[in-house]
Amino acid sequence: MLRSVLAILFVLILANGPLAQQSAKPEAQPARANPCDNATTQADMNQCTAEEYRKTDAHLNIVYKNLVRLLQKDADEPQKPSGGEQKKAEIPAVQKLRAAQRQWIQYRDLHCGAVKAQYEGGSIAAMQWSICMTETTNHRVEELKHGYETEDRKLE
């Protein structure tokens, strides 16, 4: 019982952290209801937070693919390799982005694995992992937008 109460309290604290940060931004965004508020059991919370992570990961994939597409669009003119096929040269920005994304995925997995390890053996471990993966992935989306979006280049 105490674990459940602590788990719910922890989720509420985590849910309020990003809201406090958002209010400091010039553009206040409306508060988004936590879809896991209606979860009544640990299994429900685990399932809900896992679904939230899946949605967040899908969002990151869209942003990342849009970014790669936009950067490749800026690539040099097509070049003819020795085989006669036309192939666009990949610009260094795309190469570096791909390398950074591979390293970021490794970091995310290790970081959230360490978070989960603190709760290993408990029913809350899966939820903690999903929360970490969601938050870390949301941060990555914001990093990509901050680093690459311009007035003319929107990633979403």
- Inside any domain, residue 24: no
At residue 7, what is the residue type?
A
Return the structure tokens found at 23. Answer: 């209010």
- Inside any domain, residue 30: no
- Inside any domain, residue 7: no
Phi and psi dihedrals of 92, rounded to 5?
-55, -30
- Inside any domain, residue 23: no
Opening angle at CA 132, ends 66 and 34, nearest 5: 85
- Inside any domain, residue 32: no
What CATH number is attached to the domain comprising 93? 1.20.1270.180
Residue span of the structural domain in which 64 resides: 40-74+88-148
- Inside any domain, residue 82: no
- Inside any domain, residue 93: yes
Residues 6+ apart with CB under 8 A from 142: none
Identify which of 19-23, 71-75, 129-133 has the greatest average pLDDT.
Answer: 129-133
- Inside any domain, residue 31: no
Task: List the beta bridge partners of residue 79.
Answer: 87
Model confidence over 7-65: pLDDT tens digits? Answer: 554 444 445 544 444 444 445 556 666 768 888 999 999 999 999 999 999 999 999 99
Return the structure tokens found at 149. Answer: 């979006």
Q: What total of structural domains would you count in the chain?
A: 1
